[in-house]
Structure 1
């Protein structure tokens, strides 16, 4: 398969020998649904042999990091630590910790996994006197939840969104995402949320901080141009676009988003890196 390398217009292509840390998306890069993509295990074995630290980032706020640790172990990537899993929920918790003291009440619109992450970060899931409304994907979203969130925000509570994805794919087609819920609450309150997940800088800053690296030497790997690649570039990271997920090379032209390099998948990136 011939892959057209797409560059940003810089004088030199992506220099993989300068990379000392990796942030990777998961769905569309490591797996698609239940299908593990080729040479994923070999790629992470290479990172470990070369002592290149990595983090795995996802806009999914509904699952606890331990859920991802378990799946990674099942597919042959054991011993990943929970701190290496950065969901839009854990990034949101980090943001809230920078703004509020432990023990303050938060009203959450979201799945139990998000509630667990916020509770572990020291916050109390309570509507009364909530200092912030945190909204993520919620498969049990109701008008009553929207009503409570609206009243709290109109009364002065901060409005924070885990991510702005309007939709997400499933076997039946596209389903409403966390961004659709944010849009409804924003329409009812006339308040724009502070959004944490990709492509916003906050999530990448959390990952770079945990990896104790410099963005100029960190590589973001993703399959979505408008979140993984655009966000990585805006945060100052090097970007590797893989064609195993949502977007294609033609989408880069259509969206006018230029990754530093494009690869057919992690196997292609691995072989290129090994020969660098």
Structure 2
């Protein structure tokens, strides 16, 4: 196992200019900042390291995330935060060059809506469909809308049958309608355990469609391409730090970055030992790097 030994901490830090840091399971658990993280991040900044916070959580916009960082006493700027909601908005506006007369139907929360709005993208869905269908006779109210040019699926605490039926209808009746997802994480860590993630909810839509969405968060390279282009990163001196092998570590590997796995989130030691995806290094907790 590629365990990062304490005597190698200083050399490892010196070899990196930019740290891409996952948030859930690396920096915090929910609203609890992991022990020693504030001090470790301050140390890295004092050494001139660039810190970028890269998360698959689409529930918040960069502006909302910044409020969380501030509330938790973690130094950050909006430019240092890259969420999957922002990556999705950039993809729709810059890659798809989405037509002004079309709109995106969103199964997700306010973070996606805010980022789409910041890119000048018309959207519908989100909170307006939180009221679920009450009985089967209401199924006829779900009809195709030719103005919907894309369905964007993200984590949604208010997911219901009405939202799934609308998303399915738009995609089923219009093969040219883009099918997008902020991420495909099956679980996420919170409260000392894990819960079903976006990927679990997404399967309720992708399975009946027999169609896979374009995934815009980790481990796909869309988000990384935006980050590398914006900051002109030297990939050889950039490290992706995360708690998931199939998203964070694979994300770093696909972008030819160094990778560091922390054991404070989703991945167990047993899973690490058995997985075909292996990081360059792993460490028990990120704050350990402060003990060099």
- Per the TM superposition, whether the score is higher than 0.5 is yes
CA contact (8 A) 1:6 1:258 kept: no
Q: 1:207 aligns to what SS in structure 2? A: helix
Q: Do the aligned partners of residues 119 and 48 (structure 1) sit closer, same or farther apart at CA in structure 2, a change above 3 Å counting?
A: same
Partner of 2:288: 268
Partner of 1:20: 17
State whether structure 2 residue 187 is matched by structure 1 residue 167. yes
CA apart distance, 1:128: 5.0
Q: Which runs of 5+ in 2 are unaligned?
A: 5-10, 125-144
State whether structure 2 residue 135 is matched by structure 1 residue 139. no
State whether structure 2 residue 86 is matched by structure 1 residue 90. yes
Q: Which runs of 5+ in 1 are unaligned?
A: 8-13
Partner of 1:55: 52
Q: Equivalent of 1:206, from 226, 235, 238?
A: 226
Q: Do the aligned partners of residues 171 and 77 (structure 1) sit closer, same or farther apart at CA in structure 2, a change above 3 Å counting?
A: closer
Q: Equivalent of 2:237, from 198, 202, 217?
A: 217
Q: Do the aligned partners of residues 16 and 50 (structure 1) sit closer, same or farther apart at CA in structure 2, a change above 3 Å counting?
A: closer
Q: 1:22 aligns to what SS in structure 2? A: strand
CA apart distance, 1:200: 1.5
Partner of 1:10: none
CA apart distance, 1:111: 0.7
Q: 1:151 aligns to what SS in structure 2? A: helix
Q: Using the alignment, how far apart are the partners of 1:243 and 1:205 within structure 2?
A: 27
Q: Using the alignment, how far apart are the partners of 1:169 and 1:26 within structure 2?
A: 10
Q: Using the alignment, how far apart are the partners of 2:219 and 2:255 within structure 1?
A: 9
Q: Equivalent of 1:112, from 110, 113, 117?
A: 110
| TM-score, structure 2 normalization | 0.82
Q: 1:67 aligns to what SS in structure 2? A: helix
Q: Give deviations 1:194-241, integer Å, cap 9, x for gaps.
A: 011112222222233333212221111111122111221121110111
Q: Using the alignment, how far apart are the partners of 1:134 and 1:185 within structure 2?
A: 11
Q: Do the aligned partners of residues 218 and 17 (structure 1) sit closer, same or farther apart at CA in structure 2, a change above 3 Å counting?
A: same
CA apart distance, 1:252: 1.5
Partner of 2:196: 176
Partner of 1:99: 96
Q: Do the aligned partners of residues 258 and 138 (structure 1) sit closer, same or farther apart at CA in structure 2, a change above 3 Å counting?
A: same
Q: Do the aligned partners of residues 102 and 215 (structure 1) sit closer, same or farther apart at CA in structure 2, a change above 3 Å counting?
A: farther
| TM-score, structure 1 normalization | 0.86
Q: Using the alignment, how far apart are the partners of 1:269 and 1:102 within structure 2?
A: 47
Partner of 1:148: 166
CA apart distance, 1:15: 4.5
- How big is the alpha-carbon RMSD for the aligned residues of Structure 1 and Structure 2? 2.2
CA contact (8 A) 1:182 1:193 kept: no
